[in-house]
Amino acid sequence: MDHGSPRAILLKDYTPPAYRIDTVDLRFDLRDDAAEVRAVLVMHRNPDHPGGPQPLVLDGQRMELVSVALDGTPLGPDAYVLTANDLTIAQVPDRFTLETVVRIKPQENTALEGLYMSSGTYCTQCEAEGFRRITYFIDRPDVMARYTTTIEADAQRFPVLLSNGNLVDRGTADSGRHWARWEDPFPKPCYLFALVAGALVCVEDSFRTASGRDVALKIYVEPGNEDKVGHAMTSLKKSMAWDEAVFGLEYDLDIFNIVAVGDFNMGAMENKSLNVFNTKYVLAKPETATDGDFLGIESVVAHEYFHNWTGNRVTCRDWFQLSLKEGLTVFRDQEFSADMNSRGVKRIGDVQGLRTVQFTEDAGAMAHPVRPDSYVEINNFYTPTVYSKGAEVIRMMHTLLGKEGFRRGMDLYFQRHDGQAVTCDDFAAAMADAGGIDLTRFKLWYSQAGTPVVDATGSYDAAAGTYRLTLRQTVPPTPRQPTKEPMVIPVVTALLGPDGAALPLRLEGEAEAAGTERVLVLDRAEQVFTFTGITARPVPSLLRGFSAPVTLRTDLTSADLTFLMAHDSDPFNRWEAGQTLATQLLLRLVEDVQAGRPLSLPQSFIDAVAAVLADAPSDPAFGAQALVLPSESYLGTRMAVIDPDAIHTAREFARRTLARALKNRWLATYRAHSVDDGAFSVDAAAIGRRALKNICLAYLMADPDDGEALGLCLGQFHGARAMTDVIAALQFLAASPAPERADAIAAFYERWKDEPLVVDKWFMVQATAPRGDALAVVRGLLDHPAFSIRNPNKVYALIGAFPGGNPVAFHDRGGAGYAFLADQILRIDPMNPQVAARLMGPFSRLKRYDAERQAQMIAQLERIIATPGLSPDVFEVASKSLEAAQKG
């Protein structure tokens, strides 16, 4: 289908740039009415460009061009062509200096892309294509240059002036103004450029690198927030030490700055030596931030820091290669967090995220490969597929090469490509060469979209002493990819004997048994693996650690699953066995709801939960995860047609039944773990204890008639010091019919109204409370004085959280939820297309619902697409969703 006005960009059309830029000298004059940007670019014709001399085309949007000069000679308007998107000069010499002066309006920039203001602070966001809103430039990542940046602004209102690299000079100017000059010695693509000017305070620390250099670490925040940066700073120092220890990668400058701003489209940005962060991923103290926030800060700080090597020193050739840096860096931050906390618990959390968010994307209209081959708006491709599935692809290489082999591959990658802009193929080549393996077919993971389904069946032959494991795979069709080839799927496998111990493994044809865990490589549609010397029927533990991003279906019985829950030494699979059991049960309950049959929970399941609860105190963090029933959204992914009402009814029935059946045990475990949080700590053990306590309270509160539970919950709400406990209690209250709920909601706001990040939680709790009036509540909160439609965090907390967090209300039969979402998208799009497009997610998955709901969502999409002036961001999602809907 033709997408109408905005054009798709194709990977196969890649050509090297016609010109390269050696140095960039930028001068920013920041004034209240506008900012003037003077850029001096030293350039040369690129000898690698195919074909003869090309015109010079510079990207530029939303700027007023004041002047252009070529080698010192001003150009008149007849010497260039100016459009809304570029500036073209027909003829330039082989080497030349181009000077442009433009005027831009950061004060009016609501898209938060390019140079903008966040509560009085100037800041930038250039990835992916924001630099073209700052100055005329060749805005693509394979153009790498050295930057010098001079910033001039009012000295009083903007005492802090920052850019990339080292501060080389500073001084005062007329009328109370001052300036600072920064020089970045490392060539970089323009998406890594950053500038900050504001009245910020900084918290300082330092880190001595392995080779003995002292790096100054500075975190800049708004005054009043100095007491909330300790955890981010600690996380930064841990990240720096970890990257040296695990990958031998040292920081390469003498200064590393982080700036926290309240208005930011995403989590954070890895600009060279000047990371800009959403406050959500910097500011935390126990009173204001949850354990989840603390862990999020640790991983995002690490992620952005790790980009210094995977992203900055070696960058992407083009935006199709985005996962080159994102998948790899997510893998690195996941490994870091696993090392800092509990590896098993971390893996479980990551897989839950992958399965609910990425598998869902893979099953919708926006499904795309880890390396997409076309896009309309690149900002739409900062997705769970590129990030999380991309990290799984790296993890599979790690599994195939082993730890040492993977490290050799990383070393080779940096040896070959430091300072270059490269491709996913270059990365895979370094891994293949270092590991001495062929990854040609493995690379289908980069080009084929969709979640493979692996079916596993086992048969034991007692007479022969063999166990035959048959693995079959299919990859479902996705938009524009109707047929697929078999993938290369590492299936990490163990066989557990009757006592629960893993058996020594010997595959048919092998001389002797080797190890108790094997990486079985499934690379055809169907394969049989025969294990010999097996003296009793084993229970297989398959896909250990979730060794591939696939949906695994097995023929394991409930008894097998219960056995794995008790004995599997792989923590992920121990958890997974319980989840599989619970999923099977809940999906049967959903069918009972749909058929109007009476609901009941088998005693065997209640016993299994009781056993997990009894074990939980030995590893509270794991226990807490094992006690959570599969989420409503995960259950939806396992149904042919998602029925949000039946899922909610079934799951709530199960929770309530478990609450009542095991009431005294929930109570006892709750009490045993609600120690005074006076000595608050965010170590993994303390986080685990709070998680276990709060899951117990969640079950207790699932029984609406339990007055004792309500008393405990109110006690925790009013008495706890840690936000983790306060917000958990508020969440349970908000979901309950208790008359106290309204007072609790009001009291929380009164207490925290001056902390914007805490107010975000307050919005989210209300947007996700499963109640009949949820939509009216959300609508009402749009007018609350603390809400701002321009602030991405507020929009995500209230509007973004509503569809997924409140599926029953959102998918209301009358279609009001859909109309509401479309209204908000259309309202936000003219201000901030990136945020608007991110809200489109639910519509891109409409095919997963019944015909009536599909029709209602299609009607909203048609309304959206008919709106004049729609951004390419929203247009792309709307048109692809409609296209997928119309295809059978």
Residues near ligand B3K (CB under 6 A): 127-128, 266, 268-270, 303-304, 307, 326, 379, 382
Tell me the closest approach of the beta carbon of residue 381 to ligand B3K, in angstroms. Answer: 9
- Cβ distance to ligand B3K smaller for residue 308 or 736: 308
**Ramachandran class of 248: left when φ > 0, alpha when ψ lies in -120 to 50, beta otherwise:** left
Task: Give the DSSP per-residue string, 129-140.
Answer: TTGGGTS-B--S
The DSSP code for 388 is I
Short-list 190, 5, 33, CA closest to 107: 33
- Cβ distance to Zn ion smaller for residue 326 or 560: 326
For 665-700, b/e burial (b = at least 16 CB within 10 A) is bbbebbeebbeebeeeebebebbbbbbbbbbbbbbb
Tell me the closest approach of the beta carbon of residue 380 to ligand B3K, in angstroms. Answer: 9
What whole-number distance in Å separates Cα of residue 677 and Cα of residue 690?
9
- Cβ distance to ligand B3K smaller for residue 320 or 382: 382
> Which of Zn ion, ligand B3K, none lies near 269, with the C-beta cut-off 5 to 8 A by kind?
ligand B3K
Residue type, 243: D
- Cβ distance to ligand B3K smaller for residue 269 or 488: 269
> Which of Zn ion, ligand B3K, none lies near 266, with the C-beta cut-off 5 to 8 A by kind?
ligand B3K
CA 752 to chain centre: 27
Which residues lie below 8 Å from residue 773, measured CB to CB, with a gap of 6+?
Answer: none
Tell me the closest approach of the beta carbon of residue 268 to ligand B3K, in angstroms. Answer: 6
Tell me the closest approach of the beta carbon of residue 329 to ligand B3K, in angstroms. Answer: 7
Tell me the closest approach of the beta carbon of residue 123 to ligand B3K, in angstroms. Answer: 14
> Which of ligand B3K, Zn ion, none lies near 128, with the C-beta cut-off 5 to 8 A by kind?
ligand B3K
Looking at the DSSP bridge assignments, the partners of residue 474 are 453
What whole-number distance in Å separates Cα of residue 262 and Cα of residue 275?
14
Cβ(434)–Cβ(411) under 8 Å?
yes
Place of tokens 């247009």: 875
What whole-number distance in Å separates Cα of residue 661 and Cα of residue 650?
16
> Which of ligand B3K, Zn ion, none lies near 380, with the C-beta cut-off 5 to 8 A by kind?
none
Tell me the closest approach of the beta carbon of residue 871 to ligand B3K, in angstroms. Answer: 13
Q: Please provide residue 667's backbone torsions phi and psi, each rounded to the nearest 5 degrees.
A: -60, -45
Tell me the closest approach of the beta carbon of residue 432 to ligand B3K, in angstroms. Answer: 26
Tell me the closest approach of the beta carbon of residue 387 to Zn ion, in angstroms. Answer: 7
Residue type, 861: L
Tell me the closest approach of the beta carbon of residue 330 to ligand B3K, in angstroms. Answer: 8
Tell me the closest approach of the beta carbon of residue 521 to ligand B3K, in angstroms. Answer: 31
- Cβ distance to Zn ion smaller for residue 369 or 390: 390
Q: Which residue is nearest to ligand B3K (CB)?
A: 127
Which residues lie below 8 Å from residue 465, measured CB to CB, with a gap of 6+?
Answer: 532, 533, 534, 535
- Cβ distance to ligand B3K smaller for residue 269 or 432: 269
- Cβ distance to Zn ion smaller for residue 269 or 488: 269
Number of residues that bind Zn ion (CB under 5 A): 2
What whole-number distance in Å separates Cα of residue 240 and Cα of residue 250?
7
Told to judge if 510 belongs to the known catalytic residues of this protein, a careful annotator would answer: no
- Cβ distance to ligand B3K smaller for residue 141 or 805: 141
- For β-strands 421-422 and 144-154, DSSP reports them as unpaired
Q: Could you tell me the two tokens for 449?
A: 């979209």
What whole-number distance in Å separates Cα of residue 843 and Cα of residue 859?
10
- Angle, helices 230-247 vs 291-306, to 10°: value is 50
- Cβ distance to ligand B3K smaller for residue 191 or 699: 191
CA atoms within 13 A on the CB side of 658: 29
Q: Kind and range of the H or E element at 62? A: none
> Which of ligand B3K, Zn ion, none lies near 873, with the C-beta cut-off 5 to 8 A by kind?
none
Task: Give the DSSP per-residue string, 516-534.
Answer: S-EEEEE-SSEEEEEE---
Tell me the closest approach of the beta carbon of residue 270 to ligand B3K, in angstroms. Answer: 5
Could you tell me the CA-to-CA distances from 302 to 296, 419, 509, 676 in Å, in that order? 10, 21, 45, 31
Short-list 845, 878, 883, CA closest to 862: 878
> Which of ligand B3K, Zn ion, none lies near 98, with the C-beta cut-off 5 to 8 A by kind?
none
Short-list 298, 118, 259, 115, CA closest to 792: 118
CA 3 to chain centre: 28
Return the sign of the alpha-carbon dihedral for residues 864, 866, 870, 873. Answer: positive
Q: Where are the alpha helices (DSSP H) in 436-467?
A: 444-447
Site for Zn ion in 319-338 (CB under 5 A): 326, 329
Count the Cβ atoms, other than its own, within 10 Å of residue 708.
11
> Which of Zn ion, ligand B3K, none lies near 432, with the C-beta cut-off 5 to 8 A by kind?
none
- The gap between the terminal CA atoms of the chain, to the nearest Å, is 15
> Which of ligand B3K, Zn ion, none lies near 25, with the C-beta cut-off 5 to 8 A by kind?
none
- Cβ distance to Zn ion smaller for residue 338 or 513: 338
**β-sheet with 518-522: strand ranges across:** 518-522, 489-496, 539-541
- Cβ distance to Zn ion smaller for residue 315 or 451: 315
Which residues lie below 8 Å from residue 354, measured CB to CB, with a gap of 6+?
Answer: 384, 388, 389, 392, 546, 549
- Cβ distance to ligand B3K smaller for residue 267 or 292: 267
Tell me the closest approach of the beta carbon of residue 846 to Zn ion, in angstroms. Answer: 29
Active-site annotation holder among 304, 326, 576, 632: 304
What whole-number distance in Å separates Cα of residue 435 and Cα of residue 17?
33
Residues with catalytic function: 304
Contact set with Zn ion (CB under 5 A): 326, 329
